[in-house]
Structure 1
Amino acid sequence: MHRSVFSVLVVSVVFGTGVVFSSHHWFTVWVGLELNTLSIVPILCGNFSPRGVESSVKYFLVQSVSAAVILNVVVIQAWLYSSWDIGQPMGVYTSLLMTFAIGLKLGLFPCHYWFPDVIQGVGFLQGLALSTWQKFAPFVVLVNVVDSLNVGLLACLGAFSVLVGGWGGLNQTQVRKVLAFSSIAHMGWICSTVGYSLSGGCVMLFVYVIINSGVFLLAGEYDLKSLSHVGRLSCFSYGGGACLALSVLSLGGLPPLFGFSIKFVSLSCLVGNGSLMLAGVLVLGSLLSLFFYLRVAFNSILVLFPQHSMVVFGWRSLGLVGGGATTVRGLALSLSVGLSLFGLCCLPLLFSFL
């Protein structure tokens, strides 16, 4: 793909998300969602591999169905209340349809099956965009309509997403699928909390984007496609293995790493609102996720598997790490990994937004 075409598509993706952020009219919200989807699809299949095209088609179909459901809900709202205002309260059935559409866009249970396959079929940078930036627009829609939705139903979908994300990632050996199920689990945490605290859900999404960006950028920097590749990472980059292990543990929410703030903020909001059962289910699902987080961390640096000397020499001669030139990707990687490891000191600042 030509650089100018890629730049135009990236600007269109950002513009579509900005339209959703700034709109108070349902039609412009739908236009922003469609512009965002139609701009990201050519980026996903930019290398024109059969697997990438397949994932792009899957993503396009899923997003088209969810946008069509949102548009039908909007038309029903306009027919019943003669209003296109995004703050207009919804009825019982329209709120159920809106919950389904937003869950399909975010990859929540039971509409999560498409997400791991799509992430597995695209590159690491495209997967990073799908699991971070592409969550912003539907999350803004969720924040705008959360007062009209059934909070109990949203919390149940979030809890099941945490359990499914933890259970589904247990037998995975592909790094991108592990990160995809991790994204499903984290979106479950966020959506379970946003019904009780909008500011808490926004803070959790911000922290998740920072940590997940560091893990994706590290995996893309060293081309870690499977756990066997992760097991050889320490043979040619001890620093990269250590950073990957700590970033993954931060994604799992172990204190004193930055990812612990996601669990801390969520449990604080849920316990403060008396949702003790929901908090217990989320903790149980987090324990399932912690198993494959620890497996990735052990493979990267904590356990050194026996390797043949020719294999070690081959990996060390790949030259995957740049020669010290400063790039935007390197700066983003340094910032995200640094905040993932030492960002817990920002916890009082995060609580000031609650």
Structure 2
Amino acid sequence: MFLQGLFLFFILMGIIMIFSSKSWLMIWVGLELTMFSFIPLLGEKSQQVEGAMKYFLAQTMGSLMLIMSTPFLFMESAVFYFLMLALIFKVGAPPLHFWYIDIMYSLNWKQLWFLFTIQKIGPLLSLFYLLESKMNNLFMGFIILSMFTGSMGGLNQKYIKILLGYSSISHTGWALASMIFGYYMFILYFIMYSFILTSLMLIIYYLNLPKSIFHMEWWSLKDSLLFFMNLLSLGGMPPFLGFFMKWMVIESLYKADFYFMSMYFIFMALLTMFYYINLFIYTTMNNIIISKLFDKMKNKMLFKEVLIMTSLNFLPLLFFMFL
């Protein structure tokens, strides 16, 4: 327990270093500190060692790419592309995402939450610092590819961990797009995404929901509704919080005359919603036995916490009421 707390402290220190520094040397140190502190948390059980090793190798390759960019410091464009590729690799965005989905099977829900949220902060912030000075078509290509891969990868996906993995890739594309419009929009989007994902992961963890969608028909109706309210929010279904954060990005793209990108983002959001709604219909229609939600909860207070976090997804309704 003490060691876990120590590693979490070092992860926090690494993130603070990245937040507070504009020096690429200190940013690199912060990235490595978060990586090496996260790896021991991945290897808690023997069956998780393989996932920890894959994560280590992937992050090491990204770090090597960062180091390899130093000989090209006198070539501004070469450094820019090397750094961008290295950070895209570290964050697990397409086309350098092969390692990201592969490690999902061996991680538990707590580790997945860290991977989807905390471990993305460093590389995404570093990308923002890089793109402050220069925006180009390659970066736009990464955005388009991330959203396409995340949306298409989730189609016909039966394992919840893999489904959330592809959802994370899709939201990486949305987060990258929010960077175009400044620091505060990026931070706001990432906070809202992390909030919705935390609510969803709490439901999965405390209700001990199955790993496969094939077993969803054994869920109670209340379990299914609570789970899918958060999943639909993550997909951008109005009037949930996820709709507000995606609408914010699409509106900014439209006002900046990115008309094609706006239409593309809407189409990808609708595609994601299509298979989320299909899953919702599948689980609710196959529900025969409706059990009480409290039976699966270890503590009734946990139910209240999850319910409160889920209800906060309706906050955008208040926003639109006062427009």
Decide: shared fold, TM above 0.5.
yes
Segment drifting more, 272-281 vs 21-30? 21-30
Matched-pair contact (CA < 8 Å) for 1:155–1:195: no
**Alpha-carbon deviation of 1:197?**
3.4
Which residue pairs with 1:185 in the alignment? 170
Cα distance change of structure 1 residues 37 and 335 upon mapping to structure 2, 3 Å threshold: farther
Tell me, in whole angstroms, the C-alpha distance in 1 between the residues paired with 2:51 and 2:266. Answer: 32
Q: Tell me, which stretches of 5 or more residues in structure 1 are unaligned?
A: 81-89
Segment drifting more, 289-298 vs 241-250? 289-298
Tell me the C-alpha RMSD between the 2 structures.
Answer: 2.5
Matched-pair contact (CA < 8 Å) for 2:84–2:130: no
Match of 1:135 among 120, 131, 155: 120
Which residue pairs with 1:86 in the alignment? none
**Alpha-carbon deviation of 1:294?**
1.4
For 1:120-269, list aligned pairs within 5 A: 120-223=105-208, 224-234=210-220, 238-269=221-252
Matched-pair contact (CA < 8 Å) for 1:175–1:226: yes
Cα distance change of structure 1 residues 194 and 331 upon mapping to structure 2, 3 Å threshold: farther
In the alignment, is residue 58 of structure 1 matched against residue 31 of structure 2? no
Matched-pair contact (CA < 8 Å) for 1:163–1:282: no
**Corresponding residue SS for 1:104:** helix
Cα distance change of structure 1 residues 318 and 196 upon mapping to structure 2, 3 Å threshold: closer
**Corresponding residue SS for 2:130:** helix
**Alpha-carbon deviation of 1:345?**
4.4
Tell me, in whole angstroms, the C-alpha distance in 1 between the residues paired with 2:52 and 2:319. Answer: 38
Tell me, in whole angstroms, the C-alpha distance in 1 between the residues paired with 2:57 and 2:133. Answer: 27
Cα distance change of structure 1 residues 243 and 216 upon mapping to structure 2, 3 Å threshold: same
**Alpha-carbon deviation of 1:250?**
0.6
Matched-pair contact (CA < 8 Å) for 1:213–1:333: no
Matched-pair contact (CA < 8 Å) for 1:248–1:296: no
Cα distance change of structure 1 residues 10 and 153 upon mapping to structure 2, 3 Å threshold: same
**Alpha-carbon deviation of 1:199?**
2.5
Which residue pairs with 2:316 in the alignment? 344
**Corresponding residue SS for 1:274:** coil
Bigger relative CO (Cα 8 Å, ≥ 6 apart): 1
- What is the letter of the counterpart of residue 100 of structure 2? F
Tell me, in whole angstroms, the C-alpha distance in 2 between the residues paired with 1:336 and 1:135. Answer: 22
Cα distance change of structure 1 residues 122 and 332 upon mapping to structure 2, 3 Å threshold: farther
**Alpha-carbon deviation of 1:153?**
1.8
Segment drifting more, 284-293 vs 92-101? 284-293
Match of 2:297 among 321, 338, 350: 321
Tell me, in whole angstroms, the C-alpha distance in 1 between the residues paired with 2:43 and 2:147. Answer: 29
Matched-pair contact (CA < 8 Å) for 1:107–1:115: yes
**Corresponding residue SS for 1:259:** helix
- What is the letter of the counterpart of residue 222 of structure 1? L
**Alpha-carbon deviation of 1:128?**
0.6
Which residue pairs with 1:282 in the alignment? 265
Tell me, in whole angstroms, the C-alpha distance in 2 between the residues paired with 1:251 and 1:123. Answer: 20
Cα distance change of structure 1 residues 57 and 212 upon mapping to structure 2, 3 Å threshold: same
**Alpha-carbon deviation of 1:347?**
4.7
Which residue pairs with 1:294 in the alignment? 277
Segment drifting more, 108-117 vs 180-189? 108-117
- What is the letter of the counterpart of residue 164 of structure 2? L
Tell me, in whole angstroms, the C-alpha distance in 2 between the residues paired with 1:158 and 1:337. Answer: 29
Cα distance change of structure 1 residues 283 and 337 upon mapping to structure 2, 3 Å threshold: same
- What is the letter of the counterpart of residue 53 of structure 2? V
- What is the letter of the counterpart of residue 259 of structure 2? L
Cα distance change of structure 1 residues 68 and 244 upon mapping to structure 2, 3 Å threshold: same
Which residue pairs with 2:10 in the alignment? 12
Matched-pair contact (CA < 8 Å) for 1:161–1:184: yes
Which residue pairs with 2:67 in the alignment? 71
Tell me, in whole angstroms, the C-alpha distance in 2 between the residues paired with 1:133 and 1:29. Answer: 16
- What is the letter of the counterpart of residue 303 of structure 1? M
**Alpha-carbon deviation of 1:140?**
1.2
**Alpha-carbon deviation of 1:195?**
2.2
Which residue pairs with 1:35 in the alignment? 33
Cα distance change of structure 1 residues 333 and 135 upon mapping to structure 2, 3 Å threshold: farther
Q: Tell me, which stretches of 5 or more residues in structure 2 are unaligned?
A: none
**Corresponding residue SS for 1:143:** helix
Q: TM-score normalized by structure 2?
A: 0.90
Match of 1:113 among 78, 98, 118: 98
